[in-house]
Structure 1
Amino acid sequence: MIKPIMAKSSKPGKKKVQTDKQIQKNLLLWSIAIPALLVLFIFAWQHRAGISYLFVKWFEKDKVEREDLSKYDIRNKELMRRHDDKIYGIDVSQYQGEISWDEVLTIQEEFPIDYIFVRATMGEKAKDTKYHKNWKAIKEKNKLRGAYHYFRPNENSAKQARNFIKTVKLEAGDLPPVLDIEEMPRNQSMDSLKVGLKRWLLLVEEHYEVKPILYSGDKYFADFLEKEFADYTLWIANYNFWIEKPKKHWNFWQFSEKGTVRGIKGPVDLNMFSGDIEDLEALCIAL
């Protein structure tokens, strides 16, 4: 009798089980990888300019600096055109190096420069190395000029006032002296700092017989100074691209630190005065 041939059982083998697990694992990886790559691609496309900047900044530093300035030039020009009823000026210090004052006439070849602030002193003893040269050159160009002191919170305020008074000889027609406060105190309270600021302002006002201008950053002024110093002529710095006009209490608005002016190498601070030239001249020391 011939025995029937029995078909071999088709039990799933170990190899097939492993393959199924591998397929599931691969599917899981792709389900994560594809959305992640898509998000990365979208991010890279949206931020391609910034990525390009990062890519070349170590190898083409000069190109990056030119591109940055071009971006700021566009914004600055648009802002000044929107406020063509205002007048504009710059402020300089030793950081601008040697300035070709014969060429310093306009901002971006379009907006006349009507006034210039110059850093004179810093702290108790320091003097800007280009102050005297810049101060004299501006007078020769018949521009309105003003001098400012950079206040160092951890140094004696009376000595700082004397440093400024000894260095700066204001004349009739010059803008009032300026106190620049930007730093936080390290070894005294903010209340103590404000006492020092008031002392500097009073000593300088007594000497020149004109009330000084107060310069500070927008947030610094709002957080610490507004309550007690709001009655001063204010020069406020705020470089935020989303700010399109000065606040009502800003007499001067430093709206950019990336300005382009022929005759000055590198960027320079740009300022807007909230008034016309007659208003600015009325602010100057009486003739």
Structure 2
Amino acid sequence: MSCEEPIKNENARGIDVSRWQGNIDWACVAGAGITHAIAKMTEGGDYTDPTFVENFQGMKANGLKAGVYHYFRALSSTPCEQLANIKARLAEVDFKLGQDILAIDVETNRNEGATADQMADALFQLVTLVRVSLLEGAYPHIYASPNIWNNRVAWRQYDFSECPLWIANWNVAEPTVPDTWSKQGKSWQWWQHSSKGQVDGIRGAVDLNWVRP
């Protein structure tokens, strides 16, 4: 490759969506070159995103590699209640084990009252339940920002490194991979690099991701 040639990004283009994106034209999204997408599915023990089924079916019908995410709640519901919610919603769609992604979204919003130990304890329980009861031994992805993971989750108490990393790190040339993964010689699988993307078929802003092959 000569110095004049542009550097090619070998990563696939992905987005993640929820009810905030409204009605999505998935055919237009696919036509815009988006090949991967993850839809918000559930939160805690009793919430379902109202656009989940429509979004997941739209992704699959238009050939996108599809995924779902569950917004983790450390205190308002138990890991078992959250597992039941995830199971019930997955039963409504054609979720393919070994093919489709299931991610657990770890944030501090609506988890403000939880200590770092409580975050880690409940998250590890939920990861274990999902792995054993739903994914036949496979690990769910973990979504988190470097700051929240390092400072609001007592991650040293457990080995989360088997969970593929979906890192949220905006406005940087390269994301910061937390020690949980980097010290095991691992890196990110999904990188949410912007929250202000514009994609054909979606009105308003949408999260943009790079996805490693």
TM-score band w.r.t. shorter chain = 0.7 to 0.9
Quote the Cα distance in structure 2 between the aligned partners of 1:172 and 1:193.
27
Spell out the pairing of 1:87-106 with structure 2 (5 A cutoff).
87-105=12-30
CA pair 133-245 structure 1, distance change in 2 beyond 3 A: same
SS of the equivalent of 1:98 reads coil
Conserved? CA contact 1:89–1:271, under 8 Å: yes
Q: Could you tell me how far 1:196 is from its partner in structure 2?
A: 0.7
CA pair 188-93 structure 1, distance change in 2 beyond 3 A: closer
Give the counterpart letter for 1:190 in structure 2: A
Question: Alignment partner for residue 137 of structure 1, among 52, 58, 69?
Answer: 58
SS of the equivalent of 2:20 reads helix
Question: Alignment partner for residue 86 of structure 2, among 164, 167, 189?
Answer: 164
Conserved? CA contact 1:154–1:186, under 8 Å: no
Q: Specify the alignment match of 2:75 in structure 1.
A: 154
Spell out the pairing of 1:47-62 with structure 2 (5 A cutoff).
none
SS of the equivalent of 2:121 reads helix
Question: Alignment partner for residue 46 of structure 2, among 125, 141, 144?
Answer: 125
Quote the Cα distance in structure 2 between the aligned partners of 1:118 and 1:149.
9
Give the counterpart letter for 1:214 in structure 2: I
Question: Of Structure 1 and Structure 2, which has the larger fraction of its residues in strand?
Answer: 2
Conserved? CA contact 2:41–2:49, under 8 Å: yes
Give the counterpart letter for 1:179 in structure 2: I
CA pair 139-220 structure 1, distance change in 2 beyond 3 A: same
Q: Could you tell me how far 1:83 is from its partner in structure 2?
A: 5.3
CA pair 86-187 structure 1, distance change in 2 beyond 3 A: closer
Spell out the pairing of 1:247-286 with structure 2 (5 A cutoff).
247=176, 249-274=187-212, 276=213
Question: Of Structure 1 and Structure 2, which has the larger fraction of its residues in helix?
Answer: 1
Larger radius of gyration between Structure 1 and Structure 2: 1
SS of the equivalent of 2:70 reads strand
Q: Specify the alignment match of 2:164 in structure 1.
A: 233
Q: Could you tell me how far 1:100 is from its partner in structure 2?
A: 1.2
Quote the Cα distance in structure 2 between the aligned partners of 1:191 and 1:225.
5
Q: Specify the alignment match of 1:205 in structure 2.
A: 131
CA pair 251-222 structure 1, distance change in 2 beyond 3 A: farther
Conserved? CA contact 2:120–2:155, under 8 Å: no
Quote the Cα distance in structure 2 between the aligned partners of 1:175 and 1:218.
25
Q: Which has the higher contact order (CA 8 A, sep 6+)?
A: 2
Q: Specify the alignment match of 1:244 in structure 2.
A: 173
TM-score, with structure 1 as normaliser: 0.61
Conserved? CA contact 2:40–2:52, under 8 Å: yes
Structure 1 runs not aligned, ≥5 long: 1-80, 277-287
Quote the Cα distance in structure 2 between the aligned partners of 1:220 and 1:142.
33
Spell out the pairing of 1:218-229 with structure 2 (5 A cutoff).
218-223=146-151, 224=153, 226-227=155-156, 228=158, 229=160
Quote the Cα distance in structure 2 between the aligned partners of 1:172 and 1:226.
27
CA pair 216-125 structure 1, distance change in 2 beyond 3 A: same
Conserved? CA contact 2:196–2:205, under 8 Å: yes
Conserved? CA contact 1:153–1:183, under 8 Å: no
CA pair 132-245 structure 1, distance change in 2 beyond 3 A: same
Conserved? CA contact 1:144–1:173, under 8 Å: no
TM-score, with structure 2 as normaliser: 0.81
